[in-house]
């Protein structure tokens, strides 16, 4: 460590040392050092996981310089920072992504090879942090990547769940949930910062008092206090020095409070309270729709919000003498209503703790917050029973009442004598039992409210937030979602990345609009053939994976028809199955039918308590069992359910898809983001006019998109006339054949009960209009098959899809948030040596 010594003795001497050097030999040695000094292993006895850890620490060392400089700069500079509050961050594995963003993939690959190992294998060893359910959590992760890549000072705040989303096993065709022990072998990417812990109150009562200056104040005497300990993970931007922080809170008992005040001499009671406090952040709720009224979930929400706001205030007061300019230095974004209690909590901190008057405190609060809505499903609007809320957060409820009273006073002036407006706008739902409505709190407390795709933002104004729109039209805006091309192309699809870069250079990686240049090669036959070659190789990789995981042999030349997303009735995986059975029946009746062979690939988790979603999984696997083993079909159809769909598996699947299934009932999917990942990787979409599909179709051109189904107004129309699904069954012979085949037990070894709930639901209720859209879907699928037969035509369409995906980069989304909502500017980070005294 002579170089290290030299640089300590003379900070001006910059000699790359073992922890920062980027050449192959230094990296190779650093990995061996870490293997010995951190993992405590000689190479001869080290496992693959040991090598992964050694490499992860080697990469982390190379991040720290940028990270600490970013944190330091953000603290000192009087520039505005973004705080992204989210109950979920589905970041995916860090190693590969950090190699891409540090731009050291090649060196590391070589260094690892020289040690006799394979980089991809080490990357595959990383256990992914599953701290989210699906799109909402993954969006937060893409946004962190883009914030850093755009050099925006930002911090992500959330919860460090001990158990993330469950691991899904498939047993006898059914989903089985296994707890996700992602931390069991250690997490090299996080650093605990116990010195920055904060306290969070729960329960108890409030008390009025007069302070030394004679002012009337309220204090909260809690029943118990929980300690929040931050764990920080660096989020490095692409080829920049900015590395922002993802700060996740873990809960612990606050021993000083619990031991002294309540448990004197009561050791077992104290241990009990410790267990209680630690339970708070044990597990992620595995629903991608809220489960009303679960007290622990409200505790989680308040816990991370309270920790995060205290943390921001503490940071703010390091360089500022008061909170008067809090709204000028912080933009806080609420990722759905899960953190919406922040509106009331910031008021509490300003009024009760920092002794602000109500009005100035409210100005700061409203200027600070923005609220993103992610769903229109009315059953998904979060509301908390007043009794639970008041018991757990008595002071917050008082503040909410005060916010509500002042707000309703303004409403009364604007809409005199309009009782129905008053009751729909009120934060308190008094319809039967009383509830606190979180969306109302978020709307009232934010200066901007946005949906996540154009259609969704329009529907918000027309439906669930209609009355808020009438009141504050100026607050409403749209930011269409996006995805990061670093993870969803460069990392996951190196072959296509290479081909594109050969043609147009690499600027597209952080200026995705540049993909446009690919259009000039669409008529180049040799380019199209290279394009097909890449897709073919990627499909072969996935075929191997499928055989290894589920033992099904699939033909890589068949059309890979893919639907991966959470299992939900509105997403209509079962409509996809109706199409599969239709093709099956056609081929059975007419073995000479000329259609391209297809491999149907499904993946996705069902919420553990969602009966119908679990049956849909069983339907898919049951249909697969019959079709995959029917010799008459001569392997022309295969159906695969890939277990445990997660970020890692997504990275394998999107690049290999030919066809992307985006078939939700119009008006139900707020945006979708998988749709963008597929298209970016050259899959064509079959889809409804829902969520971001509308904009994808606009961008790629109607001729390069397979459209079907009712539009949102048509859906409303059908429903308003008393939808009668049975009519479609009666009048459509082919549909009848499909449903009857399910009913008679053909796919369930004669068991007629197993899948009947699905058929009954479709025949007698069909809330998501599968039967109404069936024929249109089948027709559109026939166009897909025709197009696929003409491989040259298909390649053109695929190239144009990729070339026109520029809009769907999360860099574009984040730029819009920065310009229109947060009003924040980039800050470039200068690197200072870690040992410089002024650092």
Residues involved in catalysis: 374, 565-566, 571, 673, 677
- For ligand 73E, the binding residues in 479-498 under the rule CB under 6 A are 481
Query: Should residue 290 be labelled a site residue for ligand 73E when binding is judged by CB under 6 A?
Result: yes
Which of 469, 364, 362 lies closest to 405 in space, CA to CA? Answer: 362
* Cβ closest to ligand 73E, residue 455 vs residue 686: 455
Taking residues 376 to 395 in sequence order and writing x for each that binds ligand 73E by CB under 6 A, - otherwise, the string is ----x---------------
Which of 453, 363, 442, 361 lies closest to 85 in space, CA to CA? Answer: 442
Tally Cβ neighbours within 10 Å of residue 787. Answer: 18
- Kindly tell me which residue out of 95, 309, 465, 670 binds ligand 73E, with binding defined by CB under 6 A: 670
- Choose the stretch contacting ligand 73E; rule: CB under 6 A; options: 142-150, 284-292, 495-503, 513-521: 284-292
3-state helix, strand, coil in the chain (%, to 5): 55, 15, 30
Residue 429 and residue 383: Cα distance in Å, rounded?
8
| Distant-in-sequence, close-in-space partners of 277: CB < 8 Å, separation ≥ 6 | 224, 226, 227, 251, 252, 253, 254, 258
- Phi first, then psi: give them for residue 754, nearest 5 degrees: -55, -50
* Cβ closest to ligand 73E, residue 287 vs residue 367: 287
Tally Cβ neighbours within 10 Å of residue 354. Answer: 14
Q: Report in angstroms how near the CB of residue 425 gets to ligand 73E at its nearest.
A: 22
Residue 795 and residue 803: Cα distance in Å, rounded?
12
- Kindly tell me which residue out of 672, 687, 709, 806 binds ligand 73E, with binding defined by CB under 6 A: 672
Q: Report in angstroms how near the CB of residue 711 gets to ligand 73E at its nearest.
A: 17
DSSP summary character for residue 127: P
Query: Should residue 450 be labelled a site residue for ligand 73E when binding is judged by CB under 6 A?
Result: no
- Can you spell out the DSSP letters for 261-278? II-TT-HHHHHHHHHHHH
Query: Should residue 135 be labelled a site residue for ligand 73E when binding is judged by CB under 6 A?
Result: yes
Tally Cβ neighbours within 10 Å of residue 381. Answer: 20
* Cβ closest to ligand 73E, residue 374 vs residue 395: 374
CA atoms within 13 A on the CB side of 434: 10
Residue 711 and residue 724: Cα distance in Å, rounded?
18
- Kindly tell me which residue out of 62, 374, 652, 804 binds ligand 73E, with binding defined by CB under 6 A: 374
Angle at 627 between CA 621 and CA 628, to 5 degrees: 80
**CA distance to 295, 299, 460, 529, 547, per residue, from 436 (Å):** 13, 15, 20, 59, 50
Taking residues 400 to 439 in sequence order and writing x for each that binds ligand 73E by CB under 6 A, - otherwise, the string is ----------------------------------------
Query: Should residue 289 be labelled a site residue for ligand 73E when binding is judged by CB under 6 A?
Result: yes
- For ligand 73E, the binding residues in 451-470 under the rule CB under 6 A are 452
Residue 628's H or E segment, with its range, is: helix 611-628
Which of 522, 523, 518 lies closest to 502 in space, CA to CA? Answer: 518
| Distant-in-sequence, close-in-space partners of 818: CB < 8 Å, separation ≥ 6 | 82, 150, 152, 824, 825
- For ligand 73E, the binding residues in 72-131 under the rule CB under 6 A are none
- The answer to whether 305 touches 339, Cβ cutoff 8 Å, is yes
* Cβ closest to ligand 73E, residue 338 vs residue 395: 338
- Can you spell out the DSSP letters for 422-479? HHHHSSEE-SSS-EEEHHHHHHHH-SEEEESSHHHHHHHHHTTTHHHHHH-GGGEEE-
Which of 319, 384, 316 lies closest to 350 in space, CA to CA? Answer: 316
Query: Should residue 697 be labelled a site residue for ligand 73E when binding is judged by CB under 6 A?
Result: no
Query: Should residue 58 be labelled a site residue for ligand 73E when binding is judged by CB under 6 A?
Result: no
Query: Should residue 671 be labelled a site residue for ligand 73E when binding is judged by CB under 6 A?
Result: yes
Query: Should residue 680 be labelled a site residue for ligand 73E when binding is judged by CB under 6 A?
Result: no
Query: Should residue 810 be labelled a site residue for ligand 73E when binding is judged by CB under 6 A?
Result: no
* Cβ closest to ligand 73E, residue 3 vs residue 287: 287
Q: Report in angstroms how near the CB of residue 568 gets to ligand 73E at its nearest.
A: 8
Q: Report in angstroms how near the CB of residue 671 gets to ligand 73E at its nearest.
A: 4
The full length of the chain comes to 839
| Distant-in-sequence, close-in-space partners of 441: CB < 8 Å, separation ≥ 6 | 337, 340, 341, 343, 344, 400, 403, 427
Query: Residue 235 forms beta bridges with which residues?
Result: 244
Query: Should residue 313 be labelled a site residue for ligand 73E when binding is judged by CB under 6 A?
Result: no
Query: Should residue 691 be labelled a site residue for ligand 73E when binding is judged by CB under 6 A?
Result: yes
- Choose the stretch contacting ligand 73E; rule: CB under 6 A; options: 97-105, 143-151, 670-678, 771-779: 670-678
* Cβ closest to ligand 73E, residue 287 vs residue 775: 287
- Choose the stretch contacting ligand 73E; rule: CB under 6 A; options: 5-13, 267-275, 325-333, 374-382: 374-382
Tokens of 15: 């000699």
Query: Should residue 685 be labelled a site residue for ligand 73E when binding is judged by CB under 6 A?
Result: no
* Cβ closest to ligand 73E, residue 289 vs residue 352: 289
- Phi first, then psi: give them for residue 640, nearest 5 degrees: -125, 130
- For ligand 73E, the binding residues in 323-342 under the rule CB under 6 A are 336
- Choose the stretch contacting ligand 73E; rule: CB under 6 A; options: 242-250, 373-381, 699-707, 717-725: 373-381
Q: Report in angstroms how near the CB of residue 287 gets to ligand 73E at its nearest.
A: 6
Tokens of 698: 């606009």
The footprint of ligand 73E on this chain (CB under 6 A) covers a number of residues equal to 20
**Nearest residue to ligand 73E on Cβ basis:** 135
DSSP summary character for residue 190: -
Q: Report in angstroms how near the CB of residue 452 gets to ligand 73E at its nearest.
A: 4
- Kindly tell me which residue out of 61, 151, 162, 669 binds ligand 73E, with binding defined by CB under 6 A: 669
Residue 313 and residue 508: Cα distance in Å, rounded?
38
- Kindly tell me which residue out of 81, 86, 375, 576 binds ligand 73E, with binding defined by CB under 6 A: 375
Query: Should residue 288 be labelled a site residue for ligand 73E when binding is judged by CB under 6 A?
Result: yes
DSSP summary character for residue 828: P
Q: Report in angstroms how near the CB of residue 566 gets to ligand 73E at its nearest.
A: 8
Q: Report in angstroms how near the CB of residue 84 gets to ligand 73E at its nearest.
A: 13
* Cβ closest to ligand 73E, residue 137 vs residue 173: 137
- Kindly tell me which residue out of 26, 58, 101, 133 binds ligand 73E, with binding defined by CB under 6 A: 133
- Choose the stretch contacting ligand 73E; rule: CB under 6 A; options: 23-31, 33-41, 281-289, 796-804: 281-289
- Phi first, then psi: give them for residue 71, nearest 5 degrees: -60, -45
- Choose the stretch contacting ligand 73E; rule: CB under 6 A; options: 2-10, 133-141, 768-776, 791-799: 133-141
- For ligand 73E, the binding residues in 136-165 under the rule CB under 6 A are 136, 139
* Cβ closest to ligand 73E, residue 137 vs residue 188: 137
Q: Report in angstroms how near the CB of residue 820 gets to ligand 73E at its nearest.
A: 17
* Cβ closest to ligand 73E, residue 671 vs residue 795: 671
Residue 67 and residue 242: Cα distance in Å, rounded?
7
| Distant-in-sequence, close-in-space partners of 375: CB < 8 Å, separation ≥ 6 | 289, 336, 381, 670
Q: How many helices (H) and strands (E) does the chain have?
A: 34, 23
Residue 148 and residue 146: Cα distance in Å, rounded?
5
Binding site for ligand 73E (CB under 6 A): 133, 135-136, 139, 287-290, 336, 374-375, 380, 452, 481, 669-673, 691
């Amino acid at each position: 460590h002579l170089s290290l010594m030299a640089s300590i003795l003379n900070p001006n001497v910059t000699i790359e040392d073992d922890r920062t050097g980027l050449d192959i030999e230094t990296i190779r040695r650093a990995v061996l050092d870490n293997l010995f000094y951190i993992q405590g292993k000689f190479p001869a006895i080290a496992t693959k996981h040991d090598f992964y850890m050694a490499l992860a620490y080697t990469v982390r060392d190379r991040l720290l310089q940028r990270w600490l400089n970013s944190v330091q700069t953000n603290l000192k500079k009087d520039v505005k920072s973004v705080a992204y509050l989210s109950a979920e961050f589905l970041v995916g594995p860090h190693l590969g992504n950090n190699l891409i963003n540090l731009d050291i993939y090649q060196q590391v690959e070589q260094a690892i090879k020289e040690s006799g190992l394979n980089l991809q294998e080490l990357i595959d060893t990383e256990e992914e942090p599953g701290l989210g359910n699906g799109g909402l959590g993954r969006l937060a992760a893409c946004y962190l990547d883009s914030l850093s890549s755009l050099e925006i000072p930002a911090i992500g705040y959330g919860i460090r769940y001990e158990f993330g989303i469950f691991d899904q096993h498939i047993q006898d065709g059914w989903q089985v949930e296994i707890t996700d022990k992602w931390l069991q072998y250690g997490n090299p990417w996080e650093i605990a910062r116990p010195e920055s812990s904060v306290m969070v109150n729960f329960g108890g009562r409030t008390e009025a008092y007069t302070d030394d200056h004679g002012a009337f104040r309220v204090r909260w005497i809690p029943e118990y206090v929980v300690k929040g300990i931050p764990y920080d993970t660096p989020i490095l931007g692409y080829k920049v020095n900015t590395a922002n922080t993802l700060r996740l809170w873990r809960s612990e008992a606050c021993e000083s409070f619990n031991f002294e005040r309540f448990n004197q001499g009561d050791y077992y009671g104290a241990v009990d309270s410790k267990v209680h406090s630690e339970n708070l952040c044990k597990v992620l709720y595995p629903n991608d729709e809220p489960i009303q009224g679960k007290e622990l979930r409200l505790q989680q929400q308040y816990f991370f919000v309270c920790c995060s706001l205290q943390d921001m205030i503490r940071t703010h007061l390091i360089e500022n003498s008061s909170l008067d300019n809090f709204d000028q230095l912080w933009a806080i974004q609420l990722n759905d209503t899960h953190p919406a209690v922040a509106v009331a909590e910031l008021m509490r901190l300003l009024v009760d703790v920092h002794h602000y008057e109500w009005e100035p405190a409210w100005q700061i609060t409203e200027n600070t917050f923005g609220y993103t809505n992610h769903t229109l499903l009315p059953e998904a609007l979060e509301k908390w029973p007043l009794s639970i809320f008041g018991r757990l957060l008595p002071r917050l409820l008082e503040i909410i009442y005060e916010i509500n009273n002042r707000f309703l006073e303004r409403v009364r002036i604007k809409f005199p004598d309009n009782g129905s407006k008053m009751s729909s706008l009120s934060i308190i739902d008094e319809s039967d039992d009383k509830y606190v409505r979180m969306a109302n709190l978020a709307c009232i407390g934010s200066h901007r409210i946005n949906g996540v795709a154009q259609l969704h933002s329009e529907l918000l104004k027309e439906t669930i937030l209609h009355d808020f729109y009438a009141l504050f039209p100026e607050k409403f805006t749209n930011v269409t979602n996006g995805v990061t091309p670093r993870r969803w192309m460069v990392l996951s699809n190196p072959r296509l990345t290479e081909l594109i870069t050969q043609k147009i250079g690499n600027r597209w990686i952080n200026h995705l609009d540049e993909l446009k240049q690919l259009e000039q090669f669409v008529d180049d036959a040799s380019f199209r053939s290279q394009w097909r070659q890449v897709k073919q190789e990627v499909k072969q990789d996935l075929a191997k994976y499928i055989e290894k995981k589920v033992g099904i042999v699939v033909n890589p030349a068949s059309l890979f028809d893919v639907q991966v997303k959470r299992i939900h009735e509105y997403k209509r995986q079962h409509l996809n199955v109706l199409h599969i059975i239709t093709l099956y029946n056609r081929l059975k009746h007419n073995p000479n039918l000329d259609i391209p062979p297809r491999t149907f690939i499904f993946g996705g988790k069902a919420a553990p308590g969602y009966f119908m979603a679990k049956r849909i999984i069983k339907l898919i696997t049951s249909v697969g069992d019959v079709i995959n083993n029917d010799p008459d079909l001569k392997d022309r159809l295969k159906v695969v359910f890939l277990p445990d769909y997660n970020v890692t598996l997504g990275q394998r699947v999107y690049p290999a898809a030919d066809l992307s299934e985006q078939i939700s009932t119009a008006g139900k999917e707020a945006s979708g983001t998988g749709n963008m990942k597929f298209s970016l990787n050259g899959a064509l979409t079959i889809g409804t006019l829902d969520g971001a599909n509308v904009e994808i179709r606009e961008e790629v051109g109607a001729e390069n998109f397979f459209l079907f189904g009712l539009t949102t107004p048509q859906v409303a129309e059908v429903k308003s006339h008393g939808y009668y699904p049975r009519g479609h069954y009666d009048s459509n012979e082919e549909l009848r054949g499909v449903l009857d085949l399910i009913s008679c037990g053909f796919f369930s070894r004669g068991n007629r009960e197993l899948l009947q709930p699905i058929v009954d639901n479709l025949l007698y209720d069909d809330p998501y209009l599968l039967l109404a859209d069936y024929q249109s879907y089948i027709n559109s699928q026939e166009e897909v098959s025709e197009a696929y037969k003409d491989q040259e035509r298909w390649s053109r369409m695929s190239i144009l899809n990729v070339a026109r995906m520029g809009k769907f980069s999360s860099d574009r989304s984040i730029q819009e948030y920065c310009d229109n909502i947060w009003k924040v500017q980039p800050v470039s980070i200068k690197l200072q040596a870690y040992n410089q005294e002024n650092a």
